[in-house]
A and B are shown apart, each in its own frame.
Chain A
Amino acid sequence: MLKVNDINVYYGAIHAIKGVSFEVNAGEVVTLIGANGAGKSTILNTVCGLLHSRTGSIEFLGKPLGGTPAHKIVEQGMAHVPEGRRIFLQMTVEENLEMGAYTQPRSTIDPNLERVYDQFPRLKERRKQIAGTLSGGEQQMLAMGRGLMSSPKLLMLDEPSMGLAPILVEQIFDIIRRLHEKGTTILLVEQNAQMALSVADRGYVLETGKIVATGTGQELLRNAAVKKAYLGG
């Protein structure tokens, strides 16, 4: 579904992503794990079109994305739930969700709203509330729900567990598992390697802009180097 081939991303003179290649197949949950500053978010931002790679190529559903602006990529079926949630704090919960369906025809909005409210009953209770008044966990649910409003073929989640209490992290990962069971393809970026690998079919380990290890979730959980670096020995 998504094929990233040898991308190099620069911030000015800084070479942030050095020849990264990976792929995500339909129905899979794939995770990119790595420490702070390894380049995880940079990769997602490049895939979704907010940043651009100098070389290499990105193919989504068999079509090259090179240079397509971010708002056009959404139309092709990619949803990106960005780091730090970035929900619209001054808009209501329902307006946030409507924005998630911006590229969708009017007729799909109501069924999609129903679907998202089914998955996140909490959001339904608070649909008229201003998003800024939600708790951190609710905001993350809203960000994910907003991503799902465009019925994406690929859902990219950037650190959904960031800043959440352990019990909420569990909840968020339960939701990811449920979405996976329903067949949603997910690219998950996480610092919480343990959790990420436990839900992922496959994973890639990123270190200072390079992929240093890859394998199934279980393989990486057992991998000595990964254990040492990310799982506390």
Chain B
Amino acid sequence: MSFLNNVITGISLGSIYAIIALGYTMVYGIAKMLNFAHGDVIMVGAYVCFFAMGSFNLPPVVGVLLAVVVCTVLGMVIERLAYKPLRAAPSLAVLITAIGVSYLLQNSAQILWGAATKTFRPIVEGSLTLVPGQLSVSYVAILSVVCCVVVMVGLTLFTGQTKMGKAMRACSEDKGAAQLMGIDVNATISMTFAIGSALAALAGVLMCSAYPVLSPTTGSMPGIRAFTAAVFGGIGSVPGALLGGILLGVIETFGKAYISTDLSDAVVFAVLIIVLLVRPAGLMGKYVPEKV
């Protein structure tokens, strides 16, 4: 039974990682940059929901929606102010800027909301008992998996069927050629950040509902793990983010349960290293030789 419990915990945690990883992977696919501030957007989303529910007594649904709206705007503003001016800059400059934005968000949160951890009230409470006394699934875990599936299906339909989504794929392949089609590349990049940040907000709320501590650095570790998941699955690949996220969640949970709680991160990263040694482009990534 504890094995099944671990599988369930792993998959629900993995679903949250997958939602975060989608943000990383989409932004990487389009803007060819690693947005290391993505994890901190998760934290902002969680705080917005926390205050909406705690200080203003708004229902959870409204709290989540508010978090999504605030983070969407935040993501677009970050892109406009910090990354867009660097569109032609070397990728290292963009990477360092992203790390800078990450610290800016963490420190701003500390000034605004204090460094002390807050206890997050889950958006849904209780759990579903499958085998009395032995196997139960929390509603948050169920909700996480449902959200992940909905997001995945939604994104697949969006990028596969809609004009906007196809334009996004065109941009991710060749921005110059996309412009020649009449696609506004800047607007497309901005939209990608908006979608990624909206997903980050959702993930933040789910994360804090499952593990109810909230502090200005709450987002950084899940952010890094989700980044790992994105690389694991093949950065730039949407199904890769899902696979990477779920696997990472399961490996982390099993590592905690069967190896050592302290070593769970080490286990996760060791698996990542092994996968990258065998498949440098990640599990579902395509290896694209660089043209010279």
From A17-25, A31-39, A91-99, A160-168, give the one contacting chain B: A91-99
- Asked whether A71 lies within 8 Å of B169 as measured between CB atoms, the reply is no
Whether a CB of chain B sits under 8 angstroms from the CB of A4 is: no
* Chain B residues positioned under 8 Å from A69 (CB to CB): 179, 184
Among B174, B181, B184, residue most surrounded by chain A Cβ atoms (within 10 Å): B181
Whether a CB of chain A sits under 8 angstroms from the CB of B90 is: no
Q: How far is the CB of B182 from chain A (nearest CB, A)?
A: 3
- Asked whether B177 lies within 8 Å of A48 as measured between CB atoms, the reply is no
Q: How far is the CA of A82 from the CA of B179 in the complex (A)?
A: 11
- Asked whether A91 lies within 8 Å of B170 as measured between CB atoms, the reply is yes
Q: How far is the CA of A82 from the CA of B166 in the complex (A)?
A: 20
Q: How far is the CA of A138 from the CA of B285 in the complex (A)?
A: 26
Interface string of B134-157 (1 = CB under 8 A from A): 000000000000000000000000
Apart from A50-B176, A71-B185, A100-B181: 15 A-B pairs, beta carbons within 8 A:
A48-B180, A70-B180, A71-B179, A72-B182, A74-B180, A74-B181, A79-B180, A80-B180, A88-B173, A89-B173, A91-B169, A99-B166, A102-B163, A102-B182, A103-B181
- Asked whether B182 lies within 8 Å of A103 as measured between CB atoms, the reply is yes
- Asked whether B176 lies within 8 Å of A102 as measured between CB atoms, the reply is no
| Chain B residues in the interface with A (C-beta under 8 A) | 163, 166-167, 169-170, 173-174, 176-185
- Contact among B173, B176, B183, B184 with A91 in the assembled complex (CB-CB below 8 Å): B173
* Chain A residues positioned under 8 Å from B179 (CB to CB): 49-50, 69-71
**What residue of chain A has the Cβ atom nearest to residue B185's Cβ?**
A71
- Contact among B177, B182, B185 with A88 in the assembled complex (CB-CB below 8 Å): B177
Whether a CB of chain B sits under 8 angstroms from the CB of A181 is: no
Interface string of A114-158 (1 = CB under 8 A from B): 000000000000000000000000000000001000100000000
Residues of A36-59 at the interface with B, using a CB-CB cut-off of 8 Å, are 48-50
Interface string of A196-213 (1 = CB under 8 A from B): 000000000000000000
* Chain B residues positioned under 8 Å from A103 (CB to CB): 181-182
Given contacts A91-B166, A95-B166, A98-B166, contact A71 B183 (CB under 8 A): yes
Q: How far is the CA of A49 from the CA of B185 in the complex (A)?
A: 13
- Asked whether B184 lies within 8 Å of A71 as measured between CB atoms, the reply is yes
Q: What range describes how many residues of A lie at the interface? A: 20 to 34
**What residue of chain B has the Cβ atom nearest to residue A150's Cβ?**
B182
Interface string of A156-185 (1 = CB under 8 A from B): 000000000000000000000000000000
* Chain B residues positioned under 8 Å from A90 (CB to CB): 169, 173
Q: How far is the CA of A211 from the CA of B184 in the complex (A)?
A: 33
Q: How far is the CA of A213 from the CA of B118 in the complex (A)?
A: 76
* Chain A residues positioned under 8 Å from B185 (CB to CB): 71
Q: How far is the CB of A116 from chain B (nearest CB, A)?
A: 14
**What residue of chain A has the Cβ atom nearest to residue B169's Cβ?**
A91
Q: How far is the CA of A176 from the CA of B242 in the complex (A)?
A: 46
Among B167, B179, B182, B183, residue most surrounded by chain A Cβ atoms (within 10 Å): B182
Q: How far is the CA of A49 from the CA of B182 in the complex (A)?
A: 11
Whether a CB of chain B sits under 8 angstroms from the CB of A75 is: yes
Given contacts A70-B180, A71-B179, contact A102 B173 (CB under 8 A): no
Given contacts A74-B181, A102-B181, contact A88 B169 (CB under 8 A): yes
Q: How far is the CA of A103 from the CA of B167 in the complex (A)?
A: 11
Q: How far is the CB of A86 from chain B (nearest CB, A)?
A: 4
* Chain B residues positioned under 8 Å from A150 (CB to CB): 181-182
- For this complex, 26 residue pairs linking A to B, each with C-beta atoms less than 8 Å apart, are A69-B184, A71-B181, A71-B183, A71-B185, A72-B182, A74-B180, A75-B182, A79-B180, A80-B180, A86-B177, A89-B173, A90-B173, A91-B169, A91-B170, A95-B166, A98-B163, A98-B166, A99-B170, A99-B181, A99-B183, A100-B181, A102-B163, A103-B181, A103-B182, A146-B181, A150-B181
